[in-house]
């Protein structure tokens, strides 16, 4: 059994920021990640981020990952375990993981779960054909390994991921035939939408996929117009000659470990599914277990980073570590979250979170100091 | 299917290695996943569903979905989307759920 002060599960934007903050307050941190490289999905984000300077706005995603990793590299009290998959969190707080074909048990004093989210699929005939990917998978292939997914793409979903990945496909020299969006309006930022439109990609709102065709892999697809009840209208079909379909219809939190740990969970549609109930310090209903990033509710990398700092601070404070002017720092972080969730796009998120926040004794851990 | 010119990214590929996929020799670069190397070689069908034997390809590419399970050096159910290529690997498509022993 390995003793650990703060265990951070997942080395994406949320986990890395949690580790930085907790370590800055003096605690010893172990980050475990199932991958060989840290940074989570930041490493394949070639676009510049929005938000404010504090969340590295105007910096490309992969550069943000490097900035955070450099910071951690210089901290003596942060350890990293790569290629380590957490298998379980037990009732007595023991965490087990698989590392290099070995089964390891560790006993942390506090845990930050920052496991992220996975891509949702969509039901339509032949949706399992090779050539039909999650939009993030295509990002991984193109931007991490420099491999094209195919030649002609149909993108399903005009949220930010759908729009950004479409743009990245064009940058990689792949043709995007169309973006279809079932909702009557584009979900992502209009800056991204106009960018792909300028490059000649039609964005069809009120349209969805009807069926995919192919024998060994995808050969074509049919899209159709939806009525006000989101049902396809016969006679409006259009056939597209595509060998790739990207599905970007949202993410759902990778929350298995939270269920297992006994966290109280609540279904919040706006946040992507079942998410952990928590207080404003991101302390879950399980004492000593904190959450940050997409696993706590699907948002964006910018808010995941801010949540990471908050969860890291709360976990360290829970163990008695202090930070000069902690109250002010926390207030600033809360304000950053508020401004990221400002406006019509953030309204959904704000509504979701207001249904989720609890007050419990442990909530006092930061504020009491 | 590899990208050589990109406006933002510069792909620094490491050492070239060879491995076999169903007895066919395939090339890949150290540091990339088996799935990436197979894709670059135009191989999209990675597994088959266990009951109806429908072809399955890459879906999530980050180790979540199990759509890419293959036999690697005799070991079944390896997620080739997160397993890196190595010189001399013997990779096969597997039938059904794969033998665990």
Q: Using one digit for the tens of pLDDT, what is the confidence trace for A290-343? A: 999 999 999 999 999 999 999 999 999 999 999 989 999 999 999 999 999 987
What is the per-residue pLDDT for A53?
82
A288 and A227 share one domain: no
A337 and A240 share one domain: no
A257 and A321 share one domain: yes
Residues B46-65, mean pLDDT to the nearest whole number:
93
Minimum Cα–Cα distance from A40: chain B residue: B62
Give the best residue of B62, B69, B70 to mutate against chain A (max A CB count within 10 A): B62
Question: Could you read off the pLDDT of A12-65 as tens digits, one per residue?
Answer: 999 999 999 999 999 999 999 999 999 999 988 988 888 788 888 889 999 999
* Contact criterion met (CB < 8 Å) for A173 and B3: yes
What is the per-residue pLDDT for A47?
87
Q: Is the pLDDT of residue A345 over 80?
A: no
What is the per-residue pLDDT for A353?
87
A29 and A127 share one domain: no
Whether chain B has a CB inside 8 Å of the CB on A254: the answer is yes
Name the residue range of residue A188's domain.
121-247
Q: Is the pLDDT of residue A369 over 50?
A: no
3-class secondary structure per residue, chain A: CEEEEEEEECCCHHHHHHHHHHHHCCCCEEEECCCCCCCHHHHHCCCECCCCHHHCCCCEHHHHHHHHHHHHHCCCCEEEECCEEEEEECCCCCEEEEECCEEEEEEEEEEEECCCEEECCCCCCCCCCCCEEEHHHHHHHHHHHCECCCCEEEEECCCHHHHHHHHHHHHCCCEEEEEEECCCCCCCCHHHHHHHHHCCCCEEECEEEEEEEECCCEEEEEEEEECCCCCECCCCCEEECCCEEEECCCEEECCHHHHHHCCCEEEEHHHCEEEECECCCCEECCCCEEECHHHHCCCCHHHHHHHHHHHHHHHHHHCCCCCCCHHHHHHHHHHHHHHHCCHHHHHHHHHHHHCCECCCHHHHHHHCC
* Contact criterion met (CB < 8 Å) for A46 and B49: no
A11 and A112 share one domain: yes
Single residue among A213, A228, A247 that ends a domain in this structure: A247
A171 and A319 share one domain: no
Enumerate the residues of chain A whose CB falls inside 8 A of the CB of residue B13. 146
| H-type alpha helices, B1-101 | 34-40
Lowest mean pLDDT segment, chosen from A138-142, A233-237, A350-354: A350-354
A225 and A241 share one domain: yes
Q: Is the pLDDT of residue A362 over 60?
A: no
Pairing outcome for strands A84-89 and B55-56: unpaired
What is the per-residue pLDDT for A285?
94
> In the predicted model, what is the mean pLDDT of chain A?
93
A22 and A84 share one domain: yes
Which residues of B make CB contacts under 8 Å with A?
1-9, 11, 13, 32-33, 35-36, 39-40, 44-46, 49, 54-65, 67, 81-82, 84
In our burial notation (b when 16+ CB lie closer than 10 A, e otherwise), range A8-34 reads bbbbbbbbbbbbbbbbbbebbbbbbbb
Q: Is the pLDDT of residue B90 over 90?
A: yes
Interface ipTM above 0.85 = yes
Q: Is the pLDDT of residue A78 over 90?
A: yes
Determine the Cα angle at A156 with ends A131 and A229, to 5°: 130
A19 and A52 share one domain: yes
A184 Cβ partners below 8 Å, 6+ apart?
A205, A206
Whether chain B has a CB inside 8 Å of the CB on A141: the answer is yes
* Contact criterion met (CB < 8 Å) for A171 and B58: no
Q: What percent of chain A has pLDDT over 70?
A: 97
Asked if residues A147 and B3 have their Cβ atoms less than 8 Å apart, the reply is: yes
Spatial CA neighbour of A120 closest among A313, A254, A28: A254
Taken in order of first residue, the domains within chain B and their CATH numbers are 16-91 (3.10.20.440)
Determine the Cα angle at A160 with ends A241 and A143, to 5°: 70
Q: Is the pLDDT of residue B101 over 70?
A: no
What is the per-residue pLDDT for A132?
98
At A17, phi and psi to the nearest 5? -70, -35
At A27, phi and psi to the nearest 5? -85, 160
At A347, phi and psi to the nearest 5? -60, -40
Tell me the nearest-neighbour CA distance from A32 into chain B, angstroms.
16
Question: Could you read off the pLDDT of A254-296 as tens digits, one per residue?
Answer: 999 999 999 999 999 999 999 999 999 999 999 999 999 999 9
Single residue among A224, A247, A270 that ends a domain in this structure: A247
Spatial CA neighbour of A81 closest among A133, A130, A22, A10: A10
Q: Is the pLDDT of residue A365 over 50?
A: no
Enumerate the residues of chain B whose CB falls inside 8 A of the CB of residue A46. 8-9
Q: What percent of chain A has pLDDT over 90?
A: 82
* Contact criterion met (CB < 8 Å) for A130 and B65: no
Determine the Cα angle at A242 with ends A241 and A246, to 5°: 150
- Between CA A37 and CA B9 the distance in angstroms is 17
Asked if residues A154 and A209 have their Cβ atoms less than 8 Å apart, the reply is: yes
Whether chain B has a CB inside 8 Å of the CB on A216: the answer is yes
Q: Is the pLDDT of residue A367 over 50?
A: no
Question: Could you read off the pLDDT of A96-111 as tens digits, one per residue?
Answer: 999 998 999 999 999 9
Single residue among A247, A281, A308 that ends a domain in this structure: A247
- Between CA B65 and CA A23 the distance in angstroms is 33
A362 and A264 share one domain: yes
Residue A45 belongs to a domain with what CATH number? Answer: 3.50.50.60
- Between CA A178 and CA A282 the distance in angstroms is 40
What is the per-residue pLDDT for A54?
85
Structural domains of chain A, count: 2
Question: Could you read off the pLDDT of B18-49 as tens digits, one per residue?
Answer: 999 999 999 999 999 999 999 999 999 999 99
Closest CB to A34: pick one of B8, B54, B63.
B63
A206 and A242 share one domain: yes
A205 and A158 share one domain: yes
- Between CA A21 and CA A51 the distance in angstroms is 20
Give the best residue of B59, B67, B73 to mutate against chain A (max A CB count within 10 A): B59
Enumerate the residues of chain B whose CB falls inside 8 A of the CB of residue A59. none
H or E stretch including B48? strand B47-48
Spatial CA neighbour of A290 closest among A278, A300, A302, A301: A278
């Amino acid at each position: 059994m390995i003793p650990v002060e703060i265990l951070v599960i997942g080395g994406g934007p949320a986990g890395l920021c949690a580790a930085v903050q907790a370590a800055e307050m003096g605690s010893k941190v172990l980050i475990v990640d199932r991958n060989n490289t840290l940074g989570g999905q930041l490493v394949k984000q070639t676009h510049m981020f929005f938000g404010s300077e504090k969340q590295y706005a105007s910096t490309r995603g992969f550069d943000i990952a490097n900035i955070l990793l450099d910071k951690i590299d210089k901290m003596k009290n942060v350890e990293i375990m790569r290629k380590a998959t957490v298998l379980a969190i037990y009732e007595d707080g023991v965490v087990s993981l698989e590392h290099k074909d070995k089964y390891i048990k560790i006993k942390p004093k506090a845990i930050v779960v920052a496991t992220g989210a996975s891509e949702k699929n969509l039901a339509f005939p032949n949706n399992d054909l090779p050539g039909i990917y999650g939009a993030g998978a295509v990002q991984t292939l193109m931007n991490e390994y420099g491999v094209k997914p195919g030649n002609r793409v149909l993108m399903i979903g005009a949220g930010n991921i759908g729009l950004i990945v479409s743009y990245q496909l064009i940058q990689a020299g792949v043709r995007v035939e169309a973006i279809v969006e079932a909702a009557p309006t584009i979900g992502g930022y209009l800056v991204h939408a106009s960018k792909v439109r300028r490059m000649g990609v039609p964005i069809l709102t009120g349209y969805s996929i009807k069926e995919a065709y192919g024998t060994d892999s995808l050969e074509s697809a049919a899209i159709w117009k939806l009525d006000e009840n989101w049902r396809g209208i016969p006679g409006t079909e259009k056939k597209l000659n595509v060998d790739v379909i990207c599905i970007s219809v949202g993410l759902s939190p990778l929350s298995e470990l939270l269920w297992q740990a006994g966290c109280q969970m609540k279904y919040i549609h706006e946040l992507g599914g079942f998410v952990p109930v928590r207080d404003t310090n991101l302390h879950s209903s399980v004492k000593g277990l904190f959450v940050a990033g997409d696993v706590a509710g699907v948002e964006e990398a910018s808010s995941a980073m801010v949540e990471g700092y908050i969860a890291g601070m709360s976990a360290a404070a829970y163990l008695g570590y202090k930070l000069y002017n902690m109250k002010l720092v926390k207030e600033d972080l809360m304000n950053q979250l508020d401004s990221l969730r400002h406006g019509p796009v953030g309204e959904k998120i704000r509504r979701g979170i207001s249904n989720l926040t609890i007050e419990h004794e442990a909530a006092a851990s930061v504020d009491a100091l | 299917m590899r990208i050589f010119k990109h406006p933002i990214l510069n792909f620094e590929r490491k050492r070239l290695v060879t491995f076999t996929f169903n007895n066919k020799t395939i090339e890949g670069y150290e540091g990339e996943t088996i799935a990436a190397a197979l894709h670059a070689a135009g191989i999209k069908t990675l597994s088959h569903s266990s009951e109806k034997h429908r072809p399955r390809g890459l879906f999530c590419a980050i180790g979540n979905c199990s759509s890419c399970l293959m036999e690697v050096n005799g070991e079944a159910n390896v997620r080739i989307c997160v397993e890196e290529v190595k010189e001399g690997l013997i990779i096969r498509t597997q039938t059904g759920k794969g033998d665990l022993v």
